[in-house]
Amino acid sequence: MVKVEIVAESSPYGSEAASSRNSSTSSLSSVDSQLDVDESIVDRLAALVDIVPPTTRHAISQRVSQTASWIKWGGKRAGSFVWIVTTSALLVALPLALFLEDEAKIVAQEREFLEQQQGQQQMLAPSMYPPNQNQPKGLVPPGF
């Protein structure tokens, strides 16, 4: 068992030191002035390294390193997959789409040309029905 014992220090300011040690009203301004103002969070975390045992630090380091390597491997594989898909699309799908678009334009032009020919033939062809003498003019014959 450990026994804790308070040892009184001798000081040229004995009465002042004893009263400040026993009183709970010591000012925090003296503590604040001792802190480094430029200390960042990274500096504070770096100072915590000594709290974690070396075996635990090594295990954490290995886990972080393994995770980083898996993420790097996955990123490379995903990048390769995206590269394959995009180059395939550019080399195969784009020319195919352009060809199909041109083919659709040609088919539309042919259809328009045929419609124009049919319209001209109907305009120039004699009527299939001779004019009926009994029917008044302006009425459409049956079948139209």
pLDDT tens, residue by residue, 56-89: 989 999 999 999 999 999 999 999 999 999 999 8
Output the six-digit token pair for 102: 């041109």
Give the per-residue pLDDT at 17. Answer: 47
Give alpha helix (H) positions in 1-144: 14-22, 29-34, 41-47, 54-88, 94-124
Q: Answer whether 132's CB lies under 8 Å from 141's CB.
A: yes
Residue scoring higher pLDDT (136 or 50): 50
pLDDT digits (tens, 9 = 90+) for 2-57: 788 888 776 555 555 444 555 445 555 555 555 556 788 888 888 888 888 889 98
Whether the per-residue pLDDT at 142 is higher than 70: the answer is no
